[in-house]
Structure 1
Amino acid sequence: MKSSIIIFFVLLSQFTHAQIAFEEAGITVDSLNTPNGQNYLVINPYQPGMAFTEERGGMPQTGEAYRSEKIAIDNQQWEVLVFSDWLSEKGMVSPIGFTPFGIFYSQVSFDKGLYSGKVLFSSSGKAEVVDIPYFRNKAPIQSGCLSKDGKYMILSIESNHSYGVEDLYVVERETDGSWGKVKNLGHQLNTVFQEVTPFLAEDNRTLFFATNGRGGEGSFDLFYTVRQDESWRNWSKPVNLGPKVNTSGAETSFGYQDGSKWAYYVSSQDSDGYGDIMKVKFREDIEEDTTTIVAPEPVVIEPIEENQRILLKVVDAKTDEVLPAELLTESGKRIGANGLFEIDSLTGEEVEVKSQGYLPKMIMLDEQLKTGENVISLSSIAKGNVITLDHVLFHRGTANMVEGSEKELNLVVEVMNDNPDIKILLKGHTDNTGDPVKNVQLSEERVKTVKEYIILQGISPYRVSGRGYGGNQPLYSNETEETRKLNRRVEFEVVED
């Protein structure tokens, strides 16, 4: 397919960059921490103050989503807003960011089996829903940050165009004070796993966030990256904050006041699932932004040549044999009899690739697809085949699935509905750390969780069995967290077709 494209060249003369160094390991802020646990920490950039969510706080007793307390931190009186996590009741709330006049915060509600999120602004005791075009969050948690100048909001949500579960998105404030539509920050930051608790430094370019999709010291690690242009999709390679901050547990919610020697974050190093607020002494070197933007001039590019097309090629994962396939998009179904699909535009849409007798796969139509041929491998559901469910994840040390794992399980349900004769054996695996007996028990509990989910979707329990193997069948070395993570997996074997 040939088409003419008009683009605008923008010249950037120099990019802001950051150097972050920590002088010592993080320490707990005892005056803030309680047995209830803390999460979703946000720092007030205007005065000594912060907000966070109390993880087992229960339902608020008043109409307010939070309470205000005066707490001494570092010989100063801080105003602390404490939100209540009432996820077990009807939903959850978490702070996003302060303005001189109030605070933005997230709220996620659960109704009729579905989660839905929204953003609110609270001022003088009154809360109003913020109108954000095309905003949608279908995950049970939602977090975010507000730039100090109030021009940008970075949100962690699972939307229609997310790469996996929670992704990072930007929302820009328009000149009339309204908010624009949500925009995904792209594959250079977002992974198929979770990106949460963003913090945007005062330069509006240096971004801190937590993810469980890039390896590191533990389950969630903190990283930072620098925006390279005005597109909000071009970022420097994320840098791990290192062992003085990140531990074998989960670290999230990094933030600081500009000019402060202390940064604050949340850590659950003991892996009990509940966080403590920590502080760490650091040095920050964020250079002055000397970006120069040249007035854009339209440039017409010649029609795309044949060798610049973007193709999807669907093949068998084991044999590389080309498969007849379907591409299911929002606009309808496309058939690829020869296993090839030509992509005419990168819409950012998530689509399903499907072939009879194979487990379907979800992919994004975005810039991850390269010019030329892109191979999509599907796994056969023939008897005896073992298929790893790469995106079915669990919170560390528990049988609780990470939000968004249902997406891949729904594909298993779909293929079982399409093939009513097949039966599967679920196999649960852990890494080899800890007590081997407890690891087997944990893997069995995780298999039970997955089995129950599949049965709840209408699949007969006689078609689904399961077994936990603990750490006895590793696929990779257990020497590093990066490879241990790959050994913590759920598979299914087709035992009858």
Structure 2
Amino acid sequence: MKSSITAILLVVSLHSVAQVAFEGKGHTVDSLNTPNGQNYLVLSHFHQSIAFTEEKGGKAASSDVFSTQEITFDSQVWKVLTFPDWLGEKGMISPIGFTEDGVLYNQVTFDRGMHYGKVKYLSQGKEETVEIPFLKNKSPMQSGCISRDGRYMILSLEANNTYGVEDLYIVKKKADGSWDRAKNLGFQLNTEFQEITPFLAEDNRTLFFATNGRGGQGSFDLFYTVRQDDSWRNWSEPKNLGPQINTTGSETSFGFIDGNEWAYYVSSQDSDGYGDIMRIKFKEEIEADTVQVEEQPMVEAGNEPTDPSTIVLKVVDAETNEALSAEMIIGSEKRIGANGIFEIDSLSGEEIELKSLGYLPKVLLLDEQLKTGENEIPLASVAKGSVITLEHVLFQRGTANMVEGSEKELNLVVEVLNDNPNIKILLKGHTDNTGDPVKNVQLSEARVKAAKAYILSQGISAFRVSGKGYGGNQPIASNEKEETRKLNRRVEFEVVED
């Protein structure tokens, strides 16, 4: 068949009248499998290559990240890269994917009671660490994939803002060629259990992954989902690939090369608990669903027309302006907005809280400050290195006595610390440059101590909160005029560990 599988997946994505379908059941690729077991399978779009981790492969020499051999099947010669499994040495290694000139892979090491995850790149014998800001993985496992065009990596790891154990994260390549920080793909995909071995189809919208958090045939089952907009947090309901692939064993590492009739994956069924590489043929003619859907202009989720008199809140990342999967709390009522969109019928004068995992929550009053139509609500990330000004933590002039109401914003800091138990913060106090510089430092330190004392009084460990006063030494605005000088009188916190 050689027809485009991506074209089929685009039909699934845009028209919802087709499904991913297979002929028969999966069977082993005997020439690739060994008694040691295989896992973390990836295929190359650039050349006839395949890579996987050998589950009992031991540790390779540092100069030999993987072994290479050539294997013939289907009258084609495949270059096979075998990565060693380091589990016996408290670590692991797994391929992510190929570029034209090299291969990306995960490396997890264990030291002093902690796991450390990295992404590395090997090309023409030169090995380097891929710089991903604030990347942190607490799990002994890390898997991932890279898109066909090299613009996106999707990683499975356990960070501080996971919904459970390993979650799926998107890492985007920026215009200058560097990589942005990893961002959680949201609760529509990630569960309190494990989501691993992602594979992004060539359309950059259809995502396959394995999870043990959605029921199914056995332990890990393979699912697919379709991205609904550019937020990377709004997905179609994940769909099980079905009993032709999924068994009572564990199925992971699904992947295919566009235009090839075969899909490949790993299964532990009938393999003594270790993985075997399997393959299954795509169905050449995929029947449409019984209910035909009339083609309509495509509208991205969250951009549907609304009543012009409705108040719309859109929760976004304060730095990137990307929509966030968020929760809105009004009294005892909670609402979930997968794409960060909430509609409110009236300005009732009530307080609402908007929160997203890994961000400082924000409390708003439903009053005349909001307008009909869309209101963007930016939330500040609490990733390591973030510095957030507490605009509503105020003090009586010349003293360390907090103005009544300041505790509301400090309560949000307490909430972040409770929701992210590994975060440690540094409270930083600042003044303007008027008056005695020494007294300004002393005043800023006293104010930091007051803010810290309140946070600790809410049950937060003193080990997680430190503080320092800087006086007027770190202005963020001009001290020439009062309207800008007042911006320098502030309390902020920096995330020093996440």
For 2:208, give the aligned amino acid. Answer: F
Name the structure 1 match of 2:449: none
* Structure 2 residue aligned with 1:169: 169
Q: CA deviation at 1:122?
A: 0.7
Q: For the structure 1 residues 63 and 300, does the alpha-carbon distance in structure 2 shift closer, same or farther, using more than 3 Å as the test?
A: farther
Matched, 1:178 2:178: yes
Structure 1, residues 431-452: CA drift from partner, whole Å, max 9, x if none? xxxxxxxxxxxxxxxxxxxxxx
Q: 1:102–1:239: structure 2 CA closer, same or farther, 3 Å change rule? A: same
Residues 303 and 248 (structure 1), Cα distance of their counterparts in 2 relative to 1, 3 Å cut:
closer
Deviation track 1:281-331 (CA, whole Å, cap 9, x = no partner) reads 1137799xx9688xx9xx998597xxx9605769xxxxxxxxxxxxxxxxx
Deviation per residue, 1:413-465 (Å, 9 max, x gap):
xxxxxxxxxxxxxxxxxxxxxxxxxxxxxxxxxxxxxxxxxxxxxxxxxxxxx
Q: Which of 357, 376, 383 pairs up with 1:348?
A: 357
Amino acid at match of 1:191: T
Deviation at 1:75, TM superposition (A): 1.3
Distance 1:219 1:244, change over 3 A: same
1:64: which partner in 2? 64
CA deviation string 1:129-164 (max 9, x = no partner) = 111112111100000000000000000000111000
| 2:95 alignment partner in structure 1 | 95
- The 3 A distance-change label for structure 1 pair 174 and 114 is same
Q: How does 1:57-456 map to 2 (within 5 A)?
A: 57-270=57-270, 272-283=272-283, 310-311=329-330, 344-349=353-358
Aligned-partner residue type, residue 42 of structure 1 = V
Look at both structures and tell me which one has the larger radius of gyration over its CA atoms.
2
Query: Quick one: which amino acid aligns to residue 37 of structure 1?
Result: G
In 2, the alpha carbon distance for the partners of 1:302 and 1:249 equals 49
Aligned partner letter, 2:34: T
Give 1:216 deviation, angstroms. 0.7
Q: Say yes or no: does 1:26 pair with 2:35.
A: no
Partner of 2:414: none
- The equivalent residue for 1:51 is 51
Change (3 A) 1:15 1:286: farther
1:74 offset after TM fit, Å?
Answer: 1.5
**After alignment, is 117-126 or 54-63 more displaced?**
54-63
TM-score (norm 1): 0.57
Total equivalences in the alignment: 309
Residue 345 of structure 1 deviates from its aligned partner by 2.9
Whole-angstrom distance in 2 between the partners of 1:141 and 1:251: 16
Which whole-Å CA distance do the structure 1 matches of 2:67 and 2:176 have between them?
A: 32
Structure 1 residue 57 displacement after superposition: 0.1
Partner of 1:20, secondary structure, is coil
Point out the more displaced range, 87-96 or 276-285. 276-285
Q: Secondary structure at the match of 1:106?
A: strand
Partner Cα distance (1:236, 1:123) in 2: 36
Question: 1:84, CA displacement in angstroms?
Answer: 0.2
Q: Equivalents in 2 of 1:292, 1:236: separation in Å?
A: 14
CA distance in 2, matches of 1:83, 1:275: 14
Structure 2: where are the runs of 5+ without partners?
1-12, 289-296, 314-326, 334-350, 361-378, 380-420, 422-498
- The offset of 1:172, in angstroms, is 0.6
- Following superposition, the deviation at residue 80 of structure 1 comes to 0.9
AA of the residue aligned to 1:237: E
Paired AA for residue 279 in structure 2:
K
Where do 4+ consecutive residues of structure 1 move more than 3 Å? Answer: 14-18, 283-287, 290-293, 299-304, 311-314
Equivalent residue of 2:281, what SS? strand
Are 1:160 and 1:350, in contact at CA under 8 Å, matched by a contact in 2? no
The structural deviation recorded for 1:125 is: 1.2
Q: How does 1:450-469 map to 2 (within 5 A)?
A: none
Change (3 A) 1:34 1:343: farther
Distance in structure 2 (CA, Å) of the matches to 1:300 and 1:202? 41
1:312/1:63 Cα in 2 relative to 1: closer, same or farther (>3 Å)? Answer: farther
Q: In structure 1, what is the Cα distance between the partners aligned to 2:214 and 2:136?
A: 25
Matched to 2:265, the amino acid is Y
**Deviations 1:1-59, CA, capped at 9 Å, x for gaps:** xxxxxxxxxxxxx8476621110100000001001000000011122211000000001
| Alpha-carbon distance, 1:271 to partner | 6.7
CA distance in 1, matches of 2:108, 2:298: 38
* Other-structure match for 1:428: none
CA positional deviation for 1:68? 1.2
Take 1:43 and 1:149, find their aligned partners in 2: how far apart are those partners?
14
Contact 1:219/1:249 (CA < 8 Å) preserved in 2?
yes
Give the CA deviation at 1:350. Answer: 9.1
